Every structure is written in structure tokens, then in C-alpha cells.
């Protein structure tokens, strides 16, 4: 399963660009929440979060995604004010200290707007504009890149909505609707990346099915593809009931599959380890394309 990866140039604020496709990029996950499902210890102290971000960059991260609200299944929502209280000190402290783009993981327009002002150049919306379509207006105004992820419902209800006729056909159709919503709000198509939402509003069989058919998704939507399988619960189907922090070997397998299928970005917790996985898989992918 070795697929060609189209090249894209994604515009960023202040005339910057993100070139995607030469190789798969590694996005490090920086959760500044007290209830992250996948971190061994919370990073609520901004100083600790900044240190973790700097380690990620040193370990090979190409981007860092900062989140102030857990979106794991069953998580309680937090207010925009609380989310900003968590993420803004970290964004402000990292601005100018890291040489890689910063992303804000939020579905709230107020949070996205303030985060972009504080230095984020990518907005990663796990709701695909379902929760707060006004977010697209701020993305259009600022020129930030926008990741549209497929999901359904909220953290509390997503599994109840995990019913599909054909999971990939439905994911493609619903992501296409999210893209239309963004473009209608003024977002340029070049600013948009897509994420199939592995583990979100999907049973384990759905997530594995999506991973197996990523080239179809990429071909149907013609946008750069971000894939985030890291430590998610669907891995328990194969690994057994083990805690999230012990799922990195399973994550490595899913990351390998995503890279071979043409993913432009993989979003991971264990940056140093997964950066090695990506590098080796890239060599295999290149060899397959030459064969």
C-alpha cells in the first residue's frame, strides 16, 4: 500500500507558507489540560509546557499542536475563557522561541482568534466547523491554515453517532460539506487540510477501515491529509486493554500505514520515537514508488 503524495503549498499568516508532500511531517501534541487521556502527566504549568514543546522541536517535530480542552470521548467541555487561560501563556512564551509552526487545537472561534494573535498559524478544528462555523470567518480574515477533521456530535455523544453505510464514503461526504462551509465563509481552498478523524465518532472497525482506505480519501478531496492515530482507544482492538501511554508500538504501526498511504502530516505524542518511524517508512515508500 504505497501511494503517491501530491505536493501542496499552504499559505500561512504574514506571507509564510507550509510546503507539504516532499515528506510526511510530524506534528507534536502538546496538551495543556488536566484530563488528557494519553499523557503520563498534565502540563498545566506553562513553563513545563514550553519545555515540552522545545523538546518536541529538538526531537524532530515539524509542527506543534497546542490544545486547552480535551476532546477525548466522554470529556467535559470547558469555557472559551478557561481554554484561553491554559493556552495563551504557552503560545506567547513559544512565539519566537521555536522555529516551527504552531497550531491551536480548538473548535471555538473566540479561542482561535486569540490564539492566532498570540502566534498560532494553524487552526485544528476537530469538529470540522460543526460546533462553531464562525471560526471559519476568523481563519479567512487572518490567513491561517485550517485543519478540518471528521467527527460527529460532541465528546459525550460521538460514539452514539458512529453508524455508517460505508464509513469512507460518509467521511468523504461530510468532510466535503465542511470544506464548502469554510469556502463559503471566505477561506481559500489552499488554506484547508483534511483529517479523517480516526477514533472520533468511529468504532474500532471504522477507524481501521479508514486507515486502510486513506488513498481514496485523498483522491476524492484533493487536499493535504493529516492523520492522528496516536495512542487512541481503537488500538485496543489489536493490543488489548492497556493504558494509552503503553500504545506507542501500536501507534507506530498506524503511523507507518498512514505514511505509506500518502499522509502529509501525522499527529503524535511520542515525537522522538515516531519521527524515527516516519523516516524509515519514508525510505520504504520512496523505494516502492521507484520499483
Residue 195 DSSP SS3: strand
* Residue 92 annotated in active site: no
Q: With the CA atoms of 40, 41, 42 and 45 taken in that order, what torsion angle do they form, in degrees rounded to the nearest 10?
A: -140
Cα 285 to chain centroid distance, Å, stands at 22
Choosing from 108, 202, 231, 267, which is the catalytic residue?
Answer: 267
- Given the residues 232, 247, 279, 286, select the one marked as catalytic: 232
Residue 267 is among the residues annotated as catalytic for this protein: yes
First to last CA, the chain: 13
Question: Which of 116, 117, 111, 151 minimizes the C-alpha distance to 134?
Answer: 111
- List strands edge to edge, sheet with 192-195: 192-195, 145-149, 122-125, 102-105, 63-67, 25-31, 265-268, 226-227
Q: How many Å apart are CA 291 and CA 281, to the nearest integer? A: 15
Which positions are catalytic? Answer: 232, 267
Amino acid at each position: 500500500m504505497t501511494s503517491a503524495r501530491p505536493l501542496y503549498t499552504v499559505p500561512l499568516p504574514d506571507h509564510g507558507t507550509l510546503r507539504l508532500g516532499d515528506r510526511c511531517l510530524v506534528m507534536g501534541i502538546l496538551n495543556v489540560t488536566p484530563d488528557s487521556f494519553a499523557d503520563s502527566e498534565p502540563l498545566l504549568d506553562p513553563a513545563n509546557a514550553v519545555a515540552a514543546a522545545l523538546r518536541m522541536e529538538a526531537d524532530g517535530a515539524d509542527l506543534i499542536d497546542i490544545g486547552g480542552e480535551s476532546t477525548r470521548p466522554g470529556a467535559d467541555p470547558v469555557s472559551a475563557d478557561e481554554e484561553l487561560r491554559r493556552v495563551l501563556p504557552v503560545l506567547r512564551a513559544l512565539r519566537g522561541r521555536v522555529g516551527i509552526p504552531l497550531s491551536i487545537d480548538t473548535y471555538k472561534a473566540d479561542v482561535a482568534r486569540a490564539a492566532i494573535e498570540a502566534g498560532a498559524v494553524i487552526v485544528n478544528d476537530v469538529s470540522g466547523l460543526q460546533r462553531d462555523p464562525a471560526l471559519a470567518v476568523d481563519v479567512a480574515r487572518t490567513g491561517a491554515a485550517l485543519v478540518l477533521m471528521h467527527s460527529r456530535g460532541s465528546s459525550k455523544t460521538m460514539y452514539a453517532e458512529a453508524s455508517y453505510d460505508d464509513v469512507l464514503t460518509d467521511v468523504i461526504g461530510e468532510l466535503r460539506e465542511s470544506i464548502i462551509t469554510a469556502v463559503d465563509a471566505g477561506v481559500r481552498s489552499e488554506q484547508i487540510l483534511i483529517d479523517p478523524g480516526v477514533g472520533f465518532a468511529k468504532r474500532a472497525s471504522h477507524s481501521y477501515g479508514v486507515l486502510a482506505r486513506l488513498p481514496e480519501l485523498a483522491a476524492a478531496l484533493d487536499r493535504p491529509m493529516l492523520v492522528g492515530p496516536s495512542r487512541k482507544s481503537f488500538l485496543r482492538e489489536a493490543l488489548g486493554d492497556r493504558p494509552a501511554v503503553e500504545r506507542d508500538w501500536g501507534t507506530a504501526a498506524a503511523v507507518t500505514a498512514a505514511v505509506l498511504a500518502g499522509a502529509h502530516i501525522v499527529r503524535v505524542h511520542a515525537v522522538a520515537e515516531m519521527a524515527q518511524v516516519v523516516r524509515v517508512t519514508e525510505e520504504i515508500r520512496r523505494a516502492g514508488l521507484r520499483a
